Amino acid sequence: MTGNCFGNLFKITTFGESHGRAIGVVIDGCPAGLELSEKDIQKELDRRRPGQNRIVSPRKEEDKAEVLSGVFKGKTTGTPIALLVFNRDADSSKYEKIKNVFRPGHADFTYFQKYGFRDYRGGGRSSARETVARVAAGAVAKKLLKKFGIEVLAYTVEIAGVKSKSFNRKVIEKNLVRAADLKAAKEMEEAIFSAREQNDSVGGIIEVKATGVPAGLGEPVFDRLDAVISYALMSLPAVKGVEIGAGFEAARMTGSQDNDLMLYSKKSKKFEFKSNNAGGILGGISSGGEIVARIAIKPPSSIKREQKALTVEGKEVKLKVEGRHDPCVVPRAVPIVEAMVALVLADFFLIQKTRKL
């Protein structure tokens, strides 16, 4: 309830501010015996890192993960795994002069109201830089899930109104926006550059799928798999909507259209579904089908265009937000989305081990 913990049996606690000394996470509950190296974590951090290409924030962070505990001779010991990433290129100078200004669209005002006081350097704890910790923890969750054949894949399906029209998994990591459609990806990139030129920013939509998820994950009533995935994804900065399977479209279907009928394969002795409007979840519990979710990401609030803003005293000032910001956070959010879904699934996977005799 303290807000910086997530999960139950595979439980993480994160800490750190954008311009503080470090960002970190403690993973408590990862089973013993899982092979784990700093490389496993670094691989994922590199995908969300600023400065990785010309479309993202130029802040130069190596984002090098250090494993402080919980791993011995290349394997998890069952005790807490602490992962630490030091902040190297924080530049707080730009923030000194706006320390009394509430930047539009940011959490400056609400943190101030909540705590009566705030760390104004780069947004402090409200900065998306805290997602470094989520990605690091998610890397461990992914490793665990992979052992059991579960994989999570996210990709951009829309930016600035430009939609993907095809799906080619192989191209996702080969274009700047992480779309699965190279042609649309090109247009999306251009939309981003164009927004940046106009000192503005754009948003978009990410889709995430999980495959290999066994039937039975998720709990009834409150901790439904879809509810917890929504919670996890809506907890990401800038996310304003989430949908599962057919999502908002389901509201316009009839029952006879929406119901996914089943197939039974005598060969594999497995139940399958002919369609997937449910997004792989029925009654909050995984059905064995592909889990599908989508999230809406708003355009970044930090824009160089002049905006009117208020000071702590209520005085109106003119503000151009400086600093090294992304004109669109969708591409860098892709690995973060995967991390969150992996964390949810790892937790439910462990819980399910205790649900029947």
Decide if residue 63 touches a copy of itself (CB under 8 A). no
- Of residues 61, 158, 189, 207, which one binds a copy of itself by CB under 8 A? 158
**Token pair for residue 52?**
């990785």
The answer on whether 300 is annotated among ligand-binding residues is yes
Task: For residue 196, give the H/E element and its range.
Answer: helix 182-197
Decide if residue 155 touches a copy of itself (CB under 8 A). no
The contact pattern for a copy of itself, residues 83-122, with x = CB under 8 A and - = no contact, is -x-----------------x-xxxx-xxx-xxxxxxx-x-
- Of residues 53, 58, 60, 72, which one binds a copy of itself by CB under 8 A? 72
Q: Residue 174 or residue 286: which is nearer to a copy of itself going by CB?
A: 286
**Token pair for residue 317?**
């000032």
Q: How far is 100 from 90, CA to CA, in rounded Å?
A: 20
The Cβ of residue 279 has, within 10 Å, a number of other Cβ atoms equal to 26
Q: How far is 25 from 136, CA to CA, in rounded Å?
A: 8
- Of residues 153, 171, 182, 250, which one binds a copy of itself by CB under 8 A? 250
* Span 229-248, contacts to a copy of itself by CB under 8 A: 229-235, 237, 239-248
The answer on whether 283 is annotated among ligand-binding residues is yes
Decide if residue 81 touches a copy of itself (CB under 8 A). yes
**Token pair for residue 356?**
């029947």
Decide if residue 66 touches a copy of itself (CB under 8 A). yes
Q: How far is 154 from 242, CA to CA, in rounded Å?
A: 14
The answer on whether 301 is annotated among ligand-binding residues is yes
Q: How far is 265 from 223, CA to CA, in rounded Å?
A: 31
Place of tokens 């994804």: 233
The answer on whether 54 is annotated among ligand-binding residues is yes
- Of residues 165, 169, 174, 315, which one binds a copy of itself by CB under 8 A? 315
Q: What residue type is 291 in one-letter code? A: I
Decide if residue 68 touches a copy of itself (CB under 8 A). yes
| DSSP state for residue 35 in the 8-state scheme | B
User: SS3 of 14, please?
Assistant: strand
Q: Residue 39 or residue 73: which is nearer to a copy of itself going by CB?
A: 73
Q: Residue 175 or residue 201: which is nearer to a copy of itself going by CB?
A: 201
Decide if residue 290 touches a copy of itself (CB under 8 A). no
Decide if residue 8 touches a copy of itself (CB under 8 A). yes
Q: Residue 176 or residue 206: which is nearer to a copy of itself going by CB?
A: 206
Q: How far is 131 from 189, CA to CA, in rounded Å?
A: 23
Cβ atoms of 292 and 280 within 8 Å: the answer is: yes
Q: How far is 57 from 49, CA to CA, in rounded Å?
A: 9
Q: How far is the CB of 258 from a copy of itself (least distance, A)?
A: 5
Decide if residue 256 touches a copy of itself (CB under 8 A). yes
Cβ atoms of 357 and 62 within 8 Å: the answer is: no
Decide if residue 268 touches a copy of itself (CB under 8 A). no
Judging by beta carbons within 10 Å of its beta carbon (0-12, 13-18, 19+), is residue 114 exposed, middle or buried?
exposed
The answer on whether 331 is annotated among ligand-binding residues is no
* Span 169-198, contacts to a copy of itself by CB under 8 A: 195
Give the range of 39-47, 48-56, 72-80, 166-174 binding a copy of itself by CB under 8 A. 72-80
**Site size for a copy of itself, by CB under 8 A?**
157
Q: How far is 73 from 60, CA to CA, in rounded Å?
A: 32
Biggest CA–CA distance in the chain, Å, is 72
Cβ atoms of 338 and 153 within 8 Å: the answer is: yes
Q: How far is the CB of 93 from a copy of itself (least distance, A)?
A: 16
Annotated binding site: 48, 54, 125-127, 283, 298-302, 324
Annotated binding site for FMN: 125-127, 283, 298-302, 324
Annotated binding site for NADP(+): 48, 54
